[in-house]
Amino acid sequence: MRITMIDVFAGSILCLGLPVGAQTLGEITGRVSDASGAGVPDANITLTNSSTNAIRQAMSGDDGFYDFPSLPPGVYNVRTEHAGFKNATSNNIEVQVQQSVRLDFTLEVGQVTESVQVEASAELLQSSDATLGTVIQTESINELPLNGRQYLNLVTLASNTNTLAPAAGQAQSRQGGDRANQSISAGGNRIFFDYFTLDGVNNTDVNFNTYIVLPSIDAIQEFKVQTGVYPAEFGHGATQINVVTKSGGNAFHGSLFDFVRNDVFDATPYAFTTVHPSKSPFKWNDYGFELDGPVYIPKIYNGKNRIFFMVNNEWLSQRQHTLATYSVPTAAMERGDFSAYPSVIYQPNSGGVPYPNNIIPLTQLNPISQELLKYYAASTLPGFSNNYTQFTSSPFDRNGFVLRMDFIESAKSQWTGRYSRGDELQQTGGLNITGSKVTTNYSQYLLSNTRTFRPNLVNEARFGYSRFYNAISTLSAFGTNIVGSLSPAIPNLAPGAPVQWGVPPENFTGDGFTAIGDNSDYPYQNDNNTTQFVDNLSWIKGKHTFRFGFEYDRQNFNQEGNQYLRGGFTFSPNATQNPTTHTGGDSFAEFLLGDIFQSTTALQIASANFQRNVEHAFVDDNWKITRKLTLSMGLRYELTPPFTDTVGNLFSIAIPHIYGVSNAPVSQQPYFIRQGNCTDPYAAAPSIPFTWLVTPAVCSNGRYNYALNMTRYNDFAPRVSISYSPDSKTVFRAGYGTFFVQDNANSMYFDLARNIGVRFTASAVTNGTVWGPSSGALTGLPANWNNAVTPFGAGFGAPYGYVTAYEHHTSYTEQYLFNVQRQLGADWVIEAGYLGSQSHHLYGFQNVNDGIPGTVGTAASRLPWADFGFIQLVADGMNAVYNSLSFKVTKRFSHGMNLISSYTFSKSIDNSSGIRVQGYDTLFPQNSFCLQCERGLSAFDVRNRWVTSVLYDLPVGKGKALNINNRFANAVMGGWTTGGIVTVQSGVPATLSIGGVDNSQTTAGYDRPSATGAPLYVANPSPGRWYNPAAFVEAAPGTYGNVGRDTMIVPGTFIINAEVHKEFRMPYLENHRLQFRMEAFNMLNHPNWGAPNGNILSGAAFPGQPSTNPHQNFGVITTTAQPMRQLQLGLKYQF
C-alpha cells in the first residue's frame, strides 16, 4: 500500500475536527473536606494534562464531591482552591482507559496563597463500579514478547479469558487471513461475541465480528479488556476490547524499528516418527516508525499547548515455503496402466470382467478427465502413498498507517481526530497451481469533541466511519478462467465471474489420493462499511453522576460468493469394483473413465447488499452514597433490526406449521419465499401442492416483513453494581447485568441470499455415469432444471436450503459477580472473585429436514419433506451457563518491575458453541430434533488456566542498586531488561465422530460413536495413542451413538515466551536510546500436542486395499498445537 500526500492531507483535514470516544475515557473523582471531615462546597478544582497543558475546571458540590468525567487516558495534575484554606496540589495522577480514579483532598486552614503538596499515587482499586476487566499499559504492550507484534496476544492476561482454543473452522475458510484465527473467549462467551473499539468508535466488522483495524503496538497507548458487568454505556457484545491510540504532547517522541524472524533461528519441528522433519524456509520482517509531538512549522506555526499529532506506519513482509507431501497416482496410472497397482480394476457394467493386465485402453480415457490432469501431478517417489513432494509458497504482506491529531480549542473544548488505513495480501499455495489468496484493505475515520458546558455538565460527541474489504478466492481468480478454457468443457458448468475462477475440484474416496483442484468452499467477497454517530452527556448533581447517551449506526454488509460455484465432483471405486464381491476397483480409475459418483453445484453466485440502522440509548447513574459506598445503576436499550437486502435477493424457506400459516398441517411442504409484495397463495390455501421455482411466486407480502426476520423492540438491558470500601485499601464489589449480543451476520443473513444460487447434489444410480452427454444417467450437470415441476431425473437429489427463524430472539447473557480487591503497599493489588453467567437464545445450526433413524426403507423416505435435501436452520434455541473463580495479582510498573498474574478455575456448558463450528466441535447436532442431547462442555471450556506476565529492569548499571561508574563496564552490563509470559492451561473439549458415516441413516452424517464402558483414555496417554480405541464402537445401524458432545479433552498447554533487551544511551543526544531485543516464543522448546484423531474409524487406508485395523489412527496425535521454539530479533531507535 502506498501512503500518498493526499492520504496525509485528507487525514489531517478530518482530524482537525475530533474527542476520544466514551468507551476509552476515564475520570477523576473525589471529595474535598476540611480537617473535621465535613465536605467543603464550592471549592475550585483545576485539572491540567501534564503532556499537553490542556486545562479543565470543576467545582465541588454541597457535600464536597467533585468529578472530572470524560478524560482521555494520561497523566494529570490537580489543584484545589477555596477561600480560608491553603491550596492543595496533587501531581502525576495517572488515568487509564475507562478508569475512575478516586482523589480526595483534606484542606488545611490558611491563606489561599499558601500551598500544600498532596502525595498521591496511581489509583489501583476500582471502587466506582463492579466492572471486571484488565488494563494493559504501554510498558507491557511495548516490552513483553509478542509473536507477530500483535497486541491481541496480551488479551489473555485478563482473568476469565483464553485464546488458545482453535478458531472457528468455517469462519476461517470463509474469511481467511489472521482475522479468521481470532479465538478470544472471555467470561464463558463465544469467540464471536467480542466487540472491538478503537479510540471509542466501532472497530468490529459485522461479517464475523472480527476487528477491522489492527493498530501497530507502537501506536497504542493502552487497551482494556472488559469481561463482566460493565456499565450500560457499553453494548453490542458480551466482551469489550477497547484500544486507545497514542496522542502527541508538547515534546517530540518517536521510534524507528525493525524486527526479523528466520527459519535459521527456529527449532526443528517435532518428530512424531523416526524420520525427523526438516525446517521450512521462512523469512519475516516487520519494520516501521512512530512520531508524535506538537505541530511545528519553523517560523510559521508553533502548536505547543494547542495542536498535536501522532503518525505511525508499519510494514510486514513474510515469505514461507513448505515442502508439502501428496499422494498421487503414477504417470503410468494417469495413462490408464494399473498393472503395478495392488487393486484389480473391473470394467464398468461388465458383470465383473477385469481389464486385461489391469490396463484401461486409451480409447476409454475420458477427454475431460485428461484435460483436468494438467492441474494434477504424477508421482516422483516410489509407492502409492506420500509419493510426491512440492515446495508451496505462502507469502504474506501487510501495511498499516495511522495519523492522529488533537486540538485544544479552549479549556472547554477539545477535539481529536484519526485516520487509519491498511491492506493485506495472504497467499497459500497448493498442489500444482491451486491455492488460495486473501485480499484485505480497510480505512477508518474518527472525529470527536469533548465540550464542557459548565463544570458539572460535559458532552462527548463523536463520528466514526469504517470500510472493510475482504475477499477469499483461488490463486487463479481474476487471472485465468480455467473452467472456460477446458476443452472439452464440463457440460453445463458455467465459467462464472472472475472472482470464482479456479480449478474444478475432484475428490477421490477410498484410495487416499490427493484431490485435484481448488477448495469448493469459496469464493467470498465483502465490501462492508459502518457509519457511527454517538453522543454522551455527563451531568454531575450532588452525589450523583448521570450519563445519558445515544448511538446511531448505519451498517452496510455487502457480500457475494457461494460454495461449489466451480462444481464439486466425487469419484468412488464402485463402478470399477467386482459387483458380486465388492472388492477391487479404484476411484482414480473411475475418474479416468469419467464415471462420476456424485456432483454438487450451486447454480449461480449469491449476492446481497445488506443494510440496517442500529439505534442504542442508555442512562447510567453513579451514586456516591457515602465516601465508602457507591451504587451504580444503568439501563441500556438496543434496537438492532435485521438486515434487509436493497437488491431484493433474499430468499428464505417458510415451514408452514412453524411459521404460523393458519390451518397448516405438519405435513405441509416448506416453500421458498422472497422479499417484496405479491399474492401469497398459501395464506388462503395452505394445501396447494409444492412446486420448485428458482424465482418463487410466494412473497413476504408484509407477513414476514421485507427482511424475512422479525425486529425485536423489547431489548432492555439493566445493569446494577455496588462497591463498598471499608478502608482505603479494600473494595468489595458485586453486580448484575444483562448484555445483548449480535452474532455474526454471515450465517444469520447471507445464507438467505445463497438460496438464489440453489445448491444441489446429484448422485449416480448405476455404475457407468460419465462427464459427457453420451451415456449414463448423469450428464455432467443438469440444465434448465428450475422450470420444471419435477426437475430431476433419477439420481438427482433435492436442493440444500437455508433458513433463519423468522421469530428469532436477540441472544443475551445475564452476568453476576462478587469480587474483592486489596491493595498491598503502594504498588500491589490482589483480587479474588466469582463470575457467573447464563446465556439464552443463542444461535446454532439445525437440519430441520433430519430423517428419522431406522433401517426400514430408504433414508430419503424417512425425511420430513422428501422434496428438500438438507434444510439449514439458524435456530435461537441454544443456551449456555458459565461459572468461575478467579484470583489475580497486579503490580503496577514501578521500581523497574511490572507484573500481572491471574488464575481462573471455570466451567462452561452449552448445547452449541457457535454458528460456525468452533474448535473441535461439529457444525450440526447429531440429532437436530434433540438439542438437549447436545448439552455438554463448551468447545472453548478451559477448566484451569494460569497466566503470568512480568517485566523487570535488572538493577545493574549507573545509578542503580548495583552501581557501575566505569563507562565501558556500564555500557556492557547496564541497561538490561528481561520479561516474559508463562501460560499453563487445561485442554479444551473435543467431539468424537465416525468419519461422516450415516450410521443412523438420517442423511445428516453427524453421527457419534457409542461407549463400551472401557476407560476413555489409555493408561499412559502419549502422541502414539491418547484415546482408548476399546472404549468406543459404532452404534447399531439405524440408531444414534450414545457418546455425548465434547466429552473428550485434548492435551493442555504449557508455554513460556521470554524476552531480553539492552538499551544503549546515545552520546550527546539526551533521551535518545537504541534498543536491541531478542524474544523467544516457546522458549523451552516444549511440545504442546495438538488434538488426537477423533474419528474412531480412521484406519490406515492403503491405496486399493482395505484397512486391517479400522481404529489404527484413532486417538493418535500427529501435530503440535503450538510451534516449537521460535526466535525474534529486533532493533529499535527511540527518543
Q: Decide: 1107 and 1052 in contact? Cβ < 8 Å.
A: no
| Angle 1045-1047-1049 from CA coordinates, rounded to 5° | 130
Q: Where residue 445 falls among pLDDT bands split at 50, 70, 90?
A: very high
Residues 6+ apart with CB under 8 A from 764: 574, 575, 595, 596, 597, 598, 776, 777, 778, 795
Q: What is the predicted pLDDT for the residue at 252?
A: 94
Alpha helices by DSSP H, listed for 507-602, are 587-593
pLDDT (tens digit, 9 = 90+) per residue, 817-835? 999 999 998 899 999 999 9
How many Å apart are CA 426 and CA 395, to the nearest integer? 6
Q: Which of 232, 123, 158 is nearest to 833 (CA)?
A: 158
> Secondary structure of 152-214 in the HEC alphabet?
HHHHHHCCCEECCCCCCHHHHHHHCCHHHHCCCEECCCCCCCEEEEECCEECECCCCCCECCC
pLDDT at 683: 47
| β-sheet bridge partners, residue 76 | 49, 93
**Cα(761)–Cα(869) distance, integer angstroms:** 9
Task: Give me the mean pLDDT over the 902-926 stretch.
Answer: 90
pLDDT higher than threshold 50 for residue 4 = no
CA separation for the pair 139, 136 (Å, rounded): 8
Please give the grid coordinates belonging to residue 895.
521500581
Backbone φ, ψ for residue 600 (5° rounding) = -130, 140
- Is residue 601 within 8 Å of residue 797, measured between CB atoms? no
Cell of 458: 460535559
Read off the C-alpha cell for 11: 487525514
Q: Which of 24-38, 236-250, 252-266, 383-397 has the lowest mean pLDDT?
A: 24-38
* pLDDT score of 440: 94
Residues in CB range of 541: below 8 A, 6 or more apart: 61, 456
Query: In the predicted model, what is the mean pLDDT of residues 287-305?
Result: 94
DSSP three-state, residue 993: strand
Per cent of the chain over pLDDT 90 is 56
Out of 783-792, 989-998, 1114-1123, which region has the weakest mean confidence (pLDDT)? Answer: 783-792
Q: What is the largest CA-CA distance in the chain?
A: 115
Tell me if 405 sits within 8 A of 388, measured CB to CB.
Answer: no
* Residue 126 main-chain phi, psi, to 5 deg: -100, 100
How many whole angstroms separate alpha carbon 257 and alpha carbon 286?
8
Q: Is the CB of residue 345 less than 8 Å from the CB of residue 358? A: yes
Query: Looking at residues 843-868, what average pLDDT do you find?
Result: 84
119 — pLDDT class (breaks 50, 70, 90): low
* Per-residue pLDDT tens over the stretch 516-565: 999 988 899 999 999 999 999 999 998 999 999 999 999 999 999 888 88
Distance CA 104, CA 92 (A): 15
Q: With CA atoms as reference, report the closest residue to 261 among 283, 238, 291.
A: 283
Q: Is 785 helix (H, G, I), strand (E, B) or coil?
A: helix
CA angle 576, 794, 517 (to 5 degrees): 55
Give mean pLDDT, residues 49-71. Answer: 89
Q: Give the pLDDT of residue 967.
A: 78
Q: Please report the pLDDT score of residue 793 as a whole number.
A: 36
pLDDT bin (cut points 50, 70, 90) of residue 836 is very high
Question: Which residues, at least 6 apart from 952, have a Cβ–Cβ distance to it below 8 Å?
Answer: 896, 897, 977, 978, 979
Three-class DSSP labels, 932-944? HHHCEECCCCCCE
pLDDT of residue 476: 94
pLDDT in the model for residue 327: 93
Cβ-contact 479, 439 below 8 angstroms: no
Residue matched to cell numbers 473435543: 990
> What is the grid cell recorded at 596?
462420476
Report how far residue 124's alpha carbon sits from residue 729's, in angstroms, rounded to the nearest whole number.
Answer: 9
Domains annotated for the chain, with CATH where assigned, are 17-117 (2.60.40.1120)
- Written as nine digits, the cell of 918 is 468452533
Contact (CB, 8 A) for 244 and 199: yes
Could you count the other beta carbons within 10 Å of the beta carbon of residue 795?
A: 18
**What is the pLDDT, as a whole number, of residue 1113?**
87
Say how far apart CA 399 and CA 402 lie, in whole Å: 11
Query: For residue 974, which amino acid is it?
Result: G
pTM, entire model? 0.88
Q: Where are the beta strands (DSSP E) in 343-475?
A: 388-393, 396-410, 413-429, 435-454, 457-474
Please give the share of the chain, as a percent, with pLDDT higher than 70.
86
Between 16 and 212, where is the model more confident? Answer: 212
- What cell was used for 686? 395452505
As a whole number of angstroms, the distance between CA 313 and CA 254 comes to 12
Residue located via cell numbers 460413536: 1009
Contact (CB, 8 A) for 1133 and 291: no
Select the more confidently predicted residue: 309 or 698. 309
Read off the pLDDT band of 1073 (50, 70, 90): very high
pLDDT of residue 1102: 45
Checking if the pLDDT of 699 tops 70, the result is no
Which grid cell is 1050? 485434548
**Cell numbers describing residue 471:** 475477499
> Between 1069 and 398, where is the model more confident?
398
Residue closest to 815 by CA, chosen among 904, 913, 723, 720: 720
- Most confident of the following: 346-350, 486-490, 943-947, 1068-1072: 943-947
Is the predicted pLDDT of residue 11 greater than 80, yes or no?
A: no
- How confident is the model at residue 974, as a pLDDT? 84
* Radius of gyration from C-alpha coordinates of the chain: 32
Mean pLDDT of 1008-1028: 95
pLDDT digits (tens, 9 = 90+) for 700-720: 444 556 677 888 999 999 999
Q: What mean pLDDT is predicted for residues 55-64?
A: 88
CA distances from 1012 to 386, 934, 990, 1033 (A): 35, 20, 18, 7
Is the Cβ–Cβ distance between 87 and 95 less than 8 Å? no
Rounded-to-integer distance, Cα 482 and Cα 498, Å:
10
Secondary structure of 253-317 in HEC code, one letter for each residue? EEEEEEEEEECCCCCCCCCCCCCCCCCCCEEEEEEEEEEEEECEECCCEECCCCEEEEEEEEEEE
- Please tell me the total number of residues recorded for the chain in this structure: 1135
pLDDT at position 196 is 95
The larger pLDDT score, comparing residue 53 to residue 865, is at 53
Asked if pLDDT for residue 682 goes beyond 50, the answer is no
